Structure 1
Amino acid sequence: MQQTVNGVSANTLQNVTWIKSRRSAIEGNCVELAVLPDRSVAVRNSREPDGPALIYTRAEMIAFLDGAREGEFDALVS
């Protein structure tokens, strides 16, 4: 299996389903995520669907989501 590196063009990620939060702004200003075949997660800006996508391992996403649930990043948006 080919390993994906960070900063890939999102339009090169074929046969993935991009999802965004139901809480996203109507204007479409949001982050979209897609699970890749190796179970890593791609993240892109919804305003630039063909722009760059960052790729995170499953473990990295779990650590990030756990931190978000625990409020570790709240200061960034307060």
Structure 2
Amino acid sequence: MADPRSIIDTVNSPSRAPFPVTPSDTQPLPQIPKGIYVGVGGDVTLRGIDGAVDVTYRNLPDASYIAVHAAYVRATGTTAANLIAEA
């Protein structure tokens, strides 16, 4: 049986490589995050890794969290700022 401490990268484990998100209409995120922290509230338009269309999370408050595996965070439609992807 595997040592349970060796299974560190699960959905419930903390982020190991957070990175700032620069929204782009054409460039995918460099890594698929477990979620996205929103420092300054607003709207976030993104596409999930298995999504066929973009969705907009509207009116997010400061210091909120979007629990989504996103492939893209779009510049168009995103008004929130200080986004951190938790990979």
Fold match, TM over 0.5?
no
Identify the structure with the greater helix proportion.
1
Between 1 and 2, higher relative CO (CA 8 Å, sep ≥ 6) is seen in 2
Give the structure-1-normalised TM-score.
0.25
Give the structure-2-normalised TM-score.
0.23
